[in-house]
Amino acid sequence: MDSTKFSTFFGNVPTFTIPGRTFPVENFFAKNVCEDYVDGAVKQTEKSSLSSVLLYGVEAWTLTETMSRKLEAFEMWVYRRMLRISWTDRVRNSTVLQRMETSLTVDGIMYVIDCGYCKLKVYNPRIGMDALQVSVHRYNIRDAV
């Protein structure tokens, strides 16, 4: 692009030169005409290690939604494998996620001490409001003993 012609066309507007570098771009062209080019882009993205696909508006949303669903399905597969839950066990995904949340491990953490306290929202008639009340939760105490 010739920046002087561009500047002249818009009434001699100032031009700025911003230093940077370009990255190589590889173009992929379809061998055959594709009926649904968004579906074709999804399939091509899955087959290769493409990092970006140029789409516009609704097409970009469609691609993002499709890839998001596939990523969530893969994530659930990984969680089930980690927890050794078979798909034939008919355990709901929400249950798997709850188990994953409670079974996270952090490097360097050797012991976790649960005090057994729980904050509950309780209506206090004396002040006429809901308040958070800290109490010992029996379920947590049962686990600790």
Q: Is 63:55 a contact under the CB 8 Å cutoff?
A: yes
pLDDT digits (tens, 9 = 90+) for 65-95: 777 888 888 888 887 787 777 777 777 777 7
Cα-Cα-Cα-Cα dihedral sign, residues 88, 93, 95, 97: positive
Alpha-carbon distances of 114 from 102, 110, 139, rounded to whole Å: 12, 13, 12
| 134 close to 145: Cβ distance less than 8 angstroms | no
pLDDT band at 136 (very low <50, low <70, confident <90, very high): low
Domain boundaries along the sequence of the chain: 49-108, 113-145
Total Cβ atoms within 10 A of residue 14: 5
Overall average pLDDT of the 2-26 stretch: 82
Q: Higher confidence at residue 77 or residue 12?
A: 12
